[in-house]
A = this chain, B = another copy of it.
């Protein structure tokens, strides 16, 4: 009954207490103090140190804190036979929906432009656009993308969604597959990326995609940094093809000093905080998965290694 906790972002004391509340005899070890690796049956991990997950011969479950498992799937040292599970929980989803709403409203109502007016001492009104006339597009229709698209539609936006396979979401026009990507982009004034990172989606937001958007569109990336070709994004902002970008992620995190995202006037950048997995929301799910892994039962939110999410 031993779990290794591996994260620089999440607080081990807070999580240990929450996990033990659901499994009092759980032995929690905080990486790098793992003791005898043979004891370890479960790792709870945000970013795995290279090669570390090979050390545990009796590992039954790799549980990530995040909604995406791309970091684990790309790491060839992660043992291929051990199941990986990710977190999907309503609080994590709610945090993401908040961030997306904020970013979409900011672009929709042009609060960035009003901030520039204010800095220049200009008291100027811009034309008003009803939500029903604003075409928002959500790329990626997993749990987070669906929730965001549904909430945007509920606020009255004209929402389309795009994903790998066809979905049905009430009030949302759903497109799918490579064949419909261009049509999706052509009708999207505010683009929200909530795709999983896979070999197919890496770099999907590039010069070609930006050119397919209507001129003056905005981009919100709450997926992964590597969904965006960063130099192409900067070029599209500088040329006026894009009006603005809200980015919670970047290829390198923390964002390195001197990176153009720090200073670009049309970029709003946050340090990967769109949502967070909280002990209150997820400790029960993690403990339940550990129990299932020990009992050989199907896992909650198990990652499909072939699909890549």
Binding site for B on A (CB under 8 A): 9, 91, 94-95, 97-99, 101-102, 105-106, 108-109, 111, 114-115, 117-118, 121, 123-126, 128, 130-131, 151, 155-156, 253-255, 257, 262, 268-273, 275-276, 278, 280
Contacts and interface: CB of A to CB of B under 8 A. Distances in A.
A118 B131 CA distance: 30
B94 A99 contact: no
Contact of A271 (B108, B109, B123): B123
A79 to B, nearest CB: 30
B278 A130 contact: yes
A269 B115 CA distance: 8
Nearest to A258: B121
Copies in the complex: 2
Contact of A155 (B98, B123, B128, B278): B98
A114 B257 contact: no
B102 A98 contact: no
Contact of A94 (B106, B115, B130): B130
Contacts of A254: 123
B131 A273 contact: no
Contacts of A155: 94, 97-98, 101, 151
Given A156-B94, A262-B118, A273 B105 contact: no
Contact of A123 (B91, B125, B255): B255
A130 B91 contact: yes
Nearest to A99: B109
A269 B120 CA distance: 12
A108 to B, nearest CB: 7
A131 B94 contact: yes
Given A101-B101, A156-B94, A278 B128 contact: yes
Contacts of A126: 273
A263 to B, nearest CB: 9
Contacts of A278: 128, 130
A273 B9 contact: no
Contacts of A97: 155
10 contacts: A98-B105, A99-B109, A101-B101, A102-B102, A102-B105, A117-B271, A123-B253, A123-B255, A123-B271, A130-B280
A109 B102 contact: yes
Given A94-B131, A101-B101, A123-B254, 14 more contacts: A9-B125, A94-B155, A94-B156, A95-B128, A97-B155, A98-B105, A101-B105, A102-B109, A115-B268, A121-B262, A125-B272, A126-B273, A130-B278, A130-B280
Contacts of A255: 123
Contacts of A115: 268
A270 B114 CA distance: 6
Contacts of A117: 271
A78 to B, nearest CB: 26
B268 A98 contact: no
B94 A102 contact: no
